[in-house]
C-alpha cells in the first residue's frame, strides 16, 4: 500500500474522544484498538482483543457515511459469537469529508469479497499477509479511491490516523 500519512491522534483515539465528549460513556468502558491498518484489519484486531477480554457485545463508532460498510465488515469478521451494533448514536458526523457514492462503491466491493468467505473467518497471520492474499481487491479499492480523489487533489484521508509510534 502507499505510504501512510501520520496524524497526531490515531483513529481509535479520535473515536474515543468523540464518545467521551458525548458524556454518556465512561473511559473504562472504551477499549482502544489501534492495530488496524484499514477497516478490515481493524475488525480482526478488535475481535482478537474482544476474545481476550471476554467481551461479546460491541458498539462500533465510525463516521455516518462509513457506518454501513464498517458495520457489515465488523459483523462478518466477528461472526455469530458476538453482537456488533452501530447506528445513529455511534456515528461521528463528517459533513462532506466522505462521499456517499464512494462509500457505496467500497461497500459493494468488500461485500462481494466477504460474501465468498466462510461463515467463520479465521484470523489472518498479519495485516501484511491479509493484504497480500487480497491484493487484487485492494487494487480495486484503490481504483475506486482514485476515481473520487485524482492525484494532486485535496487530501482524502478522512477517518483514520496513525501516530509515528505505530
Q: Using pLDDT thresholds of 50, 70 and 90, give the confidence band for residue 5.
A: low
pLDDT digits (tens, 9 = 90+) for 108-144: 999 999 999 999 999 999 989 999 999 999 999 999 9
Q: Could you report the per-residue pLDDT of 56-97, keeping only the tens digit for each?
A: 999 998 888 889 999 999 999 999 999 999 987 777 777 777
Domain chopping of the chain, boundaries: 11-148
Statement: residue 164 has pLDDT above 80: no
Whether the pLDDT of residue 6 is over 60: the answer is no
Q: Higher pLDDT residue, 54 or 23?
A: 54
Secondary structure (3-state) at 29 = helix
Residues in contact with 153: Cβ distance below 8 Å, sequence separation at least 6, in sequence order: none
State the pLDDT at residue 47. 95
* CB neighbour list of residue 131: distance below 8 Å, 6 or more residues apart: 1, 37, 138
pLDDT at 7: 62
Amino acid at each position: 500500500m502507499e505510504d501512510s500519512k501520520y496524524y497526531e491522534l490515531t483513529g481509535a483515539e479520535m473515536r474515543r474522544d468523540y464518545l467521551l465528549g458525548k458524556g454518556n460513556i465512561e473511559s473504562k468502558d472504551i477499549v482502544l484498538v489501534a492495530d488496524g491498518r484499514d477497516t478490515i484489519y481493524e475488525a480482526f484486531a478488535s475481535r482478537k482483543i474482544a476474545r481476550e477480554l471476554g467481551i461479546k457485545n460491541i458498539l462500533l463508532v465510525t463516521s455516518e457515511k462509513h457506518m454501513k460498510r464498517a458495520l457489515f465488515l465488523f459483523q462478518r469478521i466477528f461472526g455469530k459469537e458476538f453482537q456488533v451494533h452501530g447506528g445513529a448514536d455511534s456515528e461521528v458526523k463528517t459533513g462532506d469529508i466522505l462521499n456517499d457514492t464512494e462509500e457505496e462503491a467500497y461497500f459493494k466491493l468488500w461485500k462481494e469479497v466477504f460474501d465468498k468467505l466462510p461463515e467463520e473467518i479465521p484470523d489472518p497471520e498479519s495485516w501484511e499477509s491479509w493484504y497480500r492474499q487480497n491484493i487484487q481487491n485492494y487494487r480495486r479499492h484503490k481504483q475506486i479511491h482514485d476515481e473520487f480523489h485524482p492525484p494532486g487533489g485535496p487530501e482524502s484521508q478522512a477517518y483514520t490516523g496513525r501516530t509515528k509510534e505505530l
